[in-house]
Each structure stands twice: as C-alpha cells, then as structure tokens.
A and B are shown apart, each in its own frame.
Chain A
C-alpha cells in the first residue's frame, strides 16, 4: 500500500516536471544564440544577456501589442461588468413580460459557437467601418462575454434571499438605486468570476484578433505574436525571448491569484 502511494507520488512529480519542460526550454533558449540553439538544443546557456528582451519589446513591437491587449481587455471587462450586472439583476429580480424570452436569448449565446456569426459580423464591421479599430474587438468580446457573465450574476442573485430586495423596495428605493447601493457590493464574488472569465477570454482571443485588425499599431498580443513569429521565425533567440516575455508575467499573475482564478474557472465550468 505504502509503496503504491510512494510510486504514485514519484510518478506524478516526474510528470509535473516533464510537463514544465517545454516552458523551461523556452525560457533558457532566450539566453542562447541561434547557433547554440540549433546545434546544442538541450545545453544550458553560457551567459545571461538581458538585452535580447529589450530588443524584442521595442524593435519587435511586443510592447505595442501588449498595450493594445491591455486596453482592449480593460475596456471589455469594464463594459461587461456594468452591463451584465445590470441585466443580471433585472432578469433575476424583476418580473416583466419577456423576462423568460430575454434570459433564453442570452443563454443561447452560451451554446452558439463563434462560427455561427463571425462571417456576417465581419461583413457588418466592414460596412460600419469598424475594421482596424479597437471597437472591432471590444464590441464582439463584450457581446461574447455577456451570456456567461449574465448567467453568473443571475444565478448568484437568484440564490440571495428575496427579503433583501423587498426591504429596499419598501424603503422607497427605485430599481436603479437598489442596483447601485444594495446589489453591487453584495454580488462581489460573482463579479470576481466575471472579471476572471472575461479578462482571460479577451486577452487570449485569437480568431477575431487575427481577422479584424491588420493595422500593426493596433494589433493585440495573439495576432501580434503571430506576425512577430513569422518575421523572426529563423531568429530563434528573439522568438523565444518574446514568448518568455509574454509568458512570465501571466505565470506570476496566476501564481499570485491562483486560488481565485482556479476556483472561478472550475466553478463556472462545473455549473455550466
């Protein structure tokens, strides 16, 4: 029994280390020259020159892509937070004709794959001259994030006691006032999950980022990385430096917030 446990323990640690190997290799290779990478792929780097990171940030335009991603993600998260919490509150607590219909409409968004609408969406954005602007991404990312966000907010509010709201109503508060003063603070846990899902989705989204923005100065990280990787694809050191620079902050962020992030993602998926 004990041996089984120990063997299992050893195996799983071995597995975890092996799973990390590609990332470790990527990190170490940014310190090796192209020649070293090609001839001695598994060797350790000889010096640790940090200038290659600066080079990929400024010359390669990585800095620009990161800023674009940041702006688009921030805008999307803020808009989703406000619109989804308002709609979620209304759909959960207010009785009106069409409540079921609208709720169903949003839930449809959870099932509807992006293929079903991005072609016509592309043509529409052409027509409204939205292409090659940040709105070309913010609008779809918001719309795509709304179903899950509204669902998260709504189910959370559903689980709160009715008396809470009825008390506010008796006190004479309008719905908007109730939303602002009573609701927002209470649904913080659901909002945190909304932030996590929306931010992750917007930051990593690739298909629309690739298709809707060709202007180099507006590209977000995923699309920009693709351009970067094809421009420097034979310059392995620069390539790995760029990948490392994108990866390390996300790993640090994740380690710092890992409890909330993991909990949010797994809970959200389980309930879905």
Chain B
C-alpha cells in the first residue's frame, strides 16, 4: 500500500539508512577510492593508479594467504559440515538429546578471544596439556611446537575452528532433519531399510538446501577468518598461517600502507563474493539437473 505520508515514510526509513550509509556504504566507496592512492595516514595521499593492484598480484605473501584460507575452508568443510551432519544424524534419531546438543554448542557462544587464548595455552609447547598428555601416554615423540612449527600451525588452528563450529552446524542439521516429513522415513523403514541406509540415501539428500547453506557459510566465513589466526599466531611463524585479513591488518596498521591495504581489501572482498556467487550458481545448476 502507498505510504500515508511522506514524512512518515522518511521517519521510518531514515535512521537505518543514515547509519548504514555512513558506516558501511560510504566507507566501502572510500576504500575503493583509497586503493588507487599511496598514503601513510599522516602526509597527503599520492596517486598510484593501478600500482597497488599490480603489486598485490606480485605479492607472494598475499597469494599464500589464499592458499592458507583454501586449506582452512577445506578442513572446516570436513570437520564442521561433514561431522556436523553425522552428529546430527545420531542425535536426531534419539530422544534425550539435551545434554549432547547443549554441550556441543557451547563453544559457539564464547568470544573468539577466549577460545584462542585457551587453545594457545593447550598448545603451549612447554606447559600446555596437549604435549603433557602425549608424554604421559608415552607418545613424547609426537610432541610438537604446535603453533610454531609451519607443518602443524595451520592445521592446529583449523582444528580449533572445527571444535567450535561442529556444534553449530550440527544444530543446523538437527533442525533440518526435524523438519523432514516423517512419512517418507517411516515408509522406508517399513520397506526394510536400515538406519544407516535411511540416513545416507534419504535424510541427507533431503536436507540438501541446508547443506548448501552450510557450505556457503563455511566459504564466506573462511575467507573473512581473522580472530583465531590473529590471537593464536598473528600469521606466524613467518607468514605460514597468514590469512587475508591478518595480512590486511598488518599492512594497514603496522606498516601504515593504507592505499596498498585498500587494494588488498577490495581484492579479498571480490574473492569472497565470487566464491559465494560461484558456489550458488554451481549449486542451482546442479539442482536443475536433479530436477530433470
């Protein structure tokens, strides 16, 4: 229906629009603009044209951040989404699930700093309990400098992320499973299908939409990942756990290269957007195929 008055409409829309334009849209345009300049934050900016972008393409550390993020996304897809589905499968066929659901979901609620500090303590090579437990079990040769050894650092952080979010995805899938029509499942059981078969051949395909959303969340969340990486290793040791956002923060706030950082920021956003849109397109195309 048409608005009852122009001023009323303005009043309803203006506050949200004003804040949003000021704090998100304007800075977005600003970052885009800054990416074409060289600026240290103090002196006057100088025009750089496409130099920052060219430098970004030659920047090996920057390129490595995307590789690290790709590994991160793949690992979290397996640990968070796959494990989440399996856990949800077990839980949804059960009656008394409160303890399980709550205990596995708790880490999702906690601030990432708490998680990062706690796990840094667990991974501490000299005092942490991980190495202590290994020693007690007689597996001292498996001890590592978890966050300091390039071979283990990235995976150690991925594992922590999995510990936090497998409960989140489990909850999503439990909700999805609970909404499945029971008649289909019951008739399959009557036909003699076992629990595992029902799970694999019926339940999982039927929650395909939720699975897609979960994968999408993993991808976008992964590209933007920051908190755990910053607190646990800050991209170290020597850039081997550097992810796009930690490198971005270093470039802008430690090195004072605002123009270059802006170019990096735009590139990171584009990668994230393309990844999300690309996945969506691939997924809807697959769905079309299924429907034939």
Contacts and interface: CB of A to CB of B under 8 A. Distances in A.
- Any A–B CB pair closer than 8 Å: yes
Nearest to B220: A113
Interface stretch (B96-104, B139-147, B148-156): B96-104
A250 interface: yes
Interface stretch (A53-61, A174-182, A187-195): A174-182
A109 B16 CA distance: 12
A206 interface: yes
A101 to B, nearest CB: 11
A113 B223 contact: yes
Contacts of A258: 101-102, 105
B1 A166 contact: yes
Interface in B255-276: 258, 261-262, 265-266, 268-269, 272-273, 276
Contact of B30 (A89, A123, A139): A123
B201 to A, nearest CB: 17
Nearest to A80: B16
A198 interface: no
Interface residues of B, number: 97
B1 A120 contact: no
Interface stretch (B19-27, B53-61, B284-292): B19-27
Interface in B66-125: 87, 90-91, 94, 99-114, 117-119, 121-122
Contacts of A179: 12
A269 B17 CA distance: 24
A175 B9 contact: yes
B4 to A, nearest CB: 5
Given A22-B122, A175-B9, A102 B17 contact: yes
Given A12-B91, A42-B132, A254-B106, A124 B20 contact: no
Contacts of B64: none
Interface in B212-254: 213, 217, 220, 223-224, 226-227, 230-231, 244-245, 248-249, 252-253
A250 B109 contact: yes
Nearest to B173: A266
Nearest to A90: B12
A82 B24 CA distance: 19
B121 A269 contact: no
A23 interface: yes
Contact of A86 (B16, B226, B272): B16
A50 interface: no
A140 B20 CA distance: 8
A28 B236 CA distance: 30
Contact of B100 (A12, A79, A120, A211): A12
B28 interface: yes
A143 B269 contact: no
B172 interface: yes
Contact of A96 (B9, B129, B136): B9
B13 A251 contact: no
27 contacts: A12-B91, A23-B107, A38-B127, A79-B15, A87-B17, A95-B2, A102-B13, A113-B223, A113-B272, A114-B224, A115-B268, A118-B31, A119-B265, A120-B31, A146-B20, A169-B1, A175-B3, A176-B12, A206-B113, A207-B249, A222-B227, A226-B117, A239-B121, A247-B114, A262-B171, A265-B168, A266-B174
Interface of B: 1-5, 8-9, 11-13, 15-17, 19-20, 22-31, 33-34, 41, 87, 90-91, 94, 99-114, 117-119, 121-122, 127-129, 132-133, 136, 163, 167-168, 171-172, 174-176, 194-196, 209-210, 213, 217, 220, 223-224, 226-227, 230-231, 244-245, 248-249, 252-253, 258, 261-262, 265-266, 268-269, 272-273, 276
10 smallest A-B Cβ distances: which pairs? A120-B30, A143-B23, A121-B27, A117-B27, A87-B16, A116-B269, A83-B16, A120-B27, A90-B12, A117-B28
Interface of A: 1, 4-5, 8-9, 12-13, 15-17, 19-20, 22-23, 25-26, 37-38, 41-42, 79, 82-84, 86-87, 89-91, 93-96, 102, 105-106, 109, 111-124, 126, 139-140, 142-144, 146-147, 150, 165-166, 169, 173-176, 179, 200, 203-204, 206-207, 210-211, 221-223, 225-226, 229, 236, 239-240, 243, 246-247, 250-251, 253-255, 258, 261-263, 265-267, 269-270, 272
